[in-house]
Amino acid sequence: MTDNVDMKEKLLEEVGHVSYKALNYAKTLVKPGALVKEVAIAAEKYLNDQGYAPAFPINLSINNEAAHYTPSFDDERIFTETDIVKVDFGAYKDGISGDCAITIDLSGKNGKLIDAANYALDAALSKLRAGITSSEIGREINTVLLKYGVKPIRNLGGHGLDIDNLHSGFFIPNYDDGSVDVLEEGMVISIEPFATNGKGMVADSDRCEIYSYVETVQPRLNSSRALIKNIEEHFSSTPFAVRWLANGIDSHFNIYSGINELVKLGAIEAHPILLEIGNGMVSQSEVTVLVEANGCKLLTK
């Protein structure tokens, strides 16, 4: 039993370290004038070349996009000198996922917003240990954000990570939500402050490029049948991007009509781009940690 625990911890550290390296590689690519799609492809290839899969499609959410923006297969968006970019990325191997994020200010005008998320993360980590409640962590995050004159995003936060489960259901709020859920030794969790100068809430947009597999179905459309077969074979354990499925699908219409049918049938779940409801700028800082009796071990380093 001890050997199994040690092997899992070693793999957690390995995947966490590779996740951190991939995040920092992606950071070097985010520059004004760069094509977002090319950055995403290069960052994901970086993991593949080292023998890892992405734990999820790289998120390159910009400005008031808080999360879940990844480019489409025909995306022509570029980064600009006014953008604040959240890079959220992680590696996957043998059921283990890493998850980490940084914010890049291409404008040079949002330093306080970025510092707020970073220092809120530091404050949370300094208090983190087995026996503390998730709401106590949220209180630490919120206190720092308010000192910087910004707000937490109240309906986003950190989460547990389990085998083949990027979001295990254990939630770490970015404010004191009154939860009495207790962190236990051996838990793997992400701490993920989101800061904004907007209203402090996000809502689904009408755009979605990230999905996850739910169950097998028998769809009507030929394009849907080809897609679900591909998804079952290659992406049943991790979220995937529509652009990862584009090979062999001959048109924009066919791929998205197939995706829409699979969503309606409950075969896949949509994860739409999340927008700050007050159109506020958003920053994010995230690490994955292993909860210990008297603290935590940083895995994404």
Catalytic-labelled residue, pool 13, 65, 192, 276: 192
Task: Indicate if 99 belongs to the active site.
Answer: yes
Domain boundaries, the chain: 2-204+275-298, 210-270
Q: Which fold has domain 210-270?
A: Arc Repressor Mutant, subunit A (1.10.10)
Task: Indicate if 177 belongs to the active site.
Answer: no
| Residue range 111-149, pLDDT digits in tens | 999 999 999 999 999 999 999 999 999 999 999 999 999
For residue 3, the model assigns a pLDDT of 47
| Residue range 153-188, pLDDT digits in tens | 999 999 999 999 999 889 999 999 999 999 999 999
Task: Indicate if 232 belongs to the active site.
Answer: no
DSSP state of 267: S
Catalytic-labelled residue, pool 159, 209, 261, 276: 159
Identify the three-state secondary structure at position 203: strand
Does the pLDDT at position 194 exceed 50? yes
**Residue 184 CB: number of other CB atoms within 10 A?**
12
Percent of the chain residues topping a pLDDT of 90: 90
Task: Indicate if 159 belongs to the active site.
Answer: yes
Q: Are strands 295-298 and 287-292 parallel, antiparallel or unpaired?
A: antiparallel
The sign of the torsion formed by the CA atoms of 270, 55, 30, 76 equals: negative
**Burial tier of 258 (Cβ tally within 10 Å: 0-12, 13-18, 19+):** buried
Contact between 18 and 54 under an 8 Å Cβ cutoff? The reply is no
Q: Amino acid letter at 301?
A: K
Catalytic-labelled residue, pool 13, 65, 83, 99: 99
Does the pLDDT at position 298 exceed 80? yes
The correct answer on CATH 3.90.230.10 for the domain covering 2-204+275-298 is yes
Catalytic-labelled residue, pool 44, 83, 167, 271: 167
Task: Indicate if 167 belongs to the active site.
Answer: yes
Catalytic-labelled residue, pool 88, 140, 209, 276: 88
Task: Indicate if 122 belongs to the active site.
Answer: no
Rounded-to-integer distance, Cα 8 and Cα 247, Å: 35
